[in-house]
Amino acid sequence: MVIKNMINTILFDLDGTLLPLSQDDFIPPYFKGLGKVFAKLGIDPEAASKAVWAGTKAMVLNDGTMPNSQRFWGTFAKIMEIDNVKLAEVETATDEFYIGEFGEIIKSIIEPHEKRLSQRIISALFESGKFELVLATNPLFPLCAVESRLQCLGINPAHFKLITHYGNSTFCKPNLGYYQEIFAKQEPSGEFSSPKGLTKLNINPEQCLMVGNNTVEDLCVGELGVKTFLITDFIENAENIDYKPTYKGTLAEFEMFVSELTR
């Protein structure tokens, strides 16, 4: 396998890739749970849900001038016409939701046997010591929400050199700026310090493999010279594009691919 000697970093998408679920199964119970949080705060759940979607769109269109978290909550607060005190209360309550009930929602969707496959793959790669691992999940959620999903899979977040989330990213997929932030040199502080965006890892894109299920959001990184592996179990191809990944297969087939990489 030629790729074996070329790759030193593997990037993973989360939802639909490591986490075996479809957006159609996830979105309804997610917003139902989030709606309960808003209702307890005296906020109309329907209006707040619309503000969440607007905030999400604002993150997707983010231009690198501020973290996605600021873009999201600034949009949410403006639409809901709430002050900073109330906004802080909402942020705290939603974080508590992500740490608690959110994980239960995820567990109710995925089958217990399915999560072990992802767990084996990440453990095998980490224990081989041959690769840096990056969780390149679209940074639309806080870190606690991403970690909750990993915990549902039994995956240790510490196995990843980097986990992208809305607090450490200034772009979203499929903007190539999202990936360029990952590949750039790490700032000493690791904090957001420049209007040009956060910088994270000092790696060569041509030595990376991106593993994901979305033909646009994940495969677009091929434009930067990154090898790609399309996971087909929960493939997302809304635009019906003629995709050309370097490799493709089910997650089970990717596990066999990993066994070759780690030999």
DSSP state of 236: B
Query: Are the beta carbons of 205 and 183 closer than 8 angstroms?
Result: yes
> How far is the C-alpha of 261 from the C-alpha of 43, rounded, in Å?
51
The three-class DSSP label of residue 38 is helix
Q: Give the number of other CB atoms < 10 A from CB of residue 91.
A: 16
What does the pLDDT read at residue 192? 39
DSSP state of 169: -
Query: Are the beta carbons of 116 and 154 closer than 8 angstroms?
Result: yes
- Output the pTM of the full model: 0.92
Query: Are the beta carbons of 208 and 224 closer than 8 angstroms?
Result: no
Whether 182 shows a pLDDT value over 50: the answer reads yes
Query: Are the beta carbons of 102 and 148 closer than 8 angstroms?
Result: yes
DSSP state of 185: P
Name the band, by pLDDT with cuts 50, 70 and 90, for residue 174: very high
> How far is the C-alpha of 93 from the C-alpha of 88, rounded, in Å?
9
Percent of the chain clearing pLDDT 90 (strictly above):
83
What's the rounded mean pLDDT across residues 63-91? 97
What's the whole-number average pLDDT of the chain?
91
CATH superfamily placement of domain 2-21+113-261? HAD superfamily/HAD-like (3.40.50.1000)
What does the pLDDT read at residue 203? 83
| Residue listed under structure tokens 């999903």 | 149
> How far is the C-alpha of 92 from the C-alpha of 88, rounded, in Å?
6
What does the pLDDT read at residue 42? 96
What does the pLDDT read at residue 190? 44
> How far is the C-alpha of 46 from the C-alpha of 51, rounded, in Å?
9
Whether 183 shows a pLDDT value over 50: the answer reads yes
pLDDT digits (tens, 9 = 90+) for 116-171: 899 999 999 999 999 999 999 999 999 999 999 999 999 999 999 999 999 999 99
What's the rounded mean pLDDT across residues 33-45? 97
What's the rounded mean pLDDT across residues 18-36? 95
Least confident of 99-108, 176-185, 192-201, 211-220: 192-201
What does the pLDDT read at residue 202? 79
Cis peptide before 45 (omega within 30 of 0): no
What are the residue boundaries of the structural domains of the chain, listed by start?
A: 2-21+113-261, 25-104
Query: Are the beta carbons of 224 and 175 closer than 8 angstroms?
Result: no
What's the rounded mean pLDDT across residues 202-212? 92
Token output for 218: 């994940």
What does the pLDDT read at residue 194? 39
What's the rounded mean pLDDT across residues 107-118? 82
Alpha helical stretches, state H, the chain = 23-40, 45-60, 68-80, 84-99, 101-109, 112-128, 143-153, 176-183, 251-261
